[in-house]
Chain A
Amino acid sequence: MTISTLIFYFISAFTLVMAFLAVTSRQIFRSAIYLLFSMMGVAALYFWLQMEFIAAVQIVVYVGGIVVLIIFSIFLTHKVGSDLPEPTYTRTLFAGLATLLAFALVWSVVKRNEFFSDQFLNELNVKQIGADMLNYQEGGFILPFEVVSILLLAAMIGCIVIALKLKPEKI
Chain B
Amino acid sequence: MEIGLHQLLFLSTALFFIGVYGFLTRRNMITMLMAIELMLNALNINFVAFNKYLWGGKLDGIFFTIFVIAIAAAEAAVAIAIIINIYRNYSSIDVEDADNLNL
A-side residues, CB < 8 A to B, are 1, 4-5, 8, 12, 15-16, 19-20, 22-24, 28, 31-32, 35, 38-39, 42, 45-46, 49, 51, 53-54, 57-58, 61-62, 65-66, 69-70, 72-74, 76-77, 84-85, 87, 91-92, 94-96, 98-100, 102-103, 106-107, 110-111, 115, 117, 119-122, 124, 128-129, 132-133, 141, 144, 148, 151-152, 155-156, 158-159, 162-163, 165
A-B contact count, CB below 8 Å?
207
Interface of B is mostly: helix
Q: Which residues of B contact A128 (CB under 8 A)?
A: 59
B-side residues, CB < 8 A to A, are 1-7, 9-11, 13-15, 17-22, 24-28, 30-31, 33-35, 37-38, 41, 44-45, 48-49, 51-57, 59, 62-63, 65-67, 69-78, 80-85, 87-88, 93
Question: Are B18 and A16 closer than 8 Å at their CB atoms?
Answer: yes
CA–CA, A144 to B30, complex, Å?
29
CA–CA, A64 to B61, complex, Å?
23
CA–CA, A119 to B70, complex, Å?
28
Complex partner residue of A51 from B6, B17, B52, CB under 8 angstroms:
B52
Question: Are B77 and A155 closer than 8 Å at their CB atoms?
Answer: yes
CA–CA, A53 to B52, complex, Å?
13
Question: Are A119 and B41 closer than 8 Å at their CB atoms?
Answer: no
CA–CA, A90 to B86, complex, Å?
28
CA–CA, A87 to B25, complex, Å?
6
CA–CA, A58 to B87, complex, Å?
29
Question: Are A77 and B93 closer than 8 Å at their CB atoms?
Answer: yes
Q: A22-B22, A35-B38, A96-B21 are in contact. Are A16 and B15 (CB under 8 A)?
A: yes
Q: A23-B38, A31-B34 are in contact. Are A158 and B18 (CB under 8 A)?
A: no
Question: Are B70 and A148 closer than 8 Å at their CB atoms?
Answer: yes
Q: Which residues of A contact B2 (CB under 8 A)?
A: 5
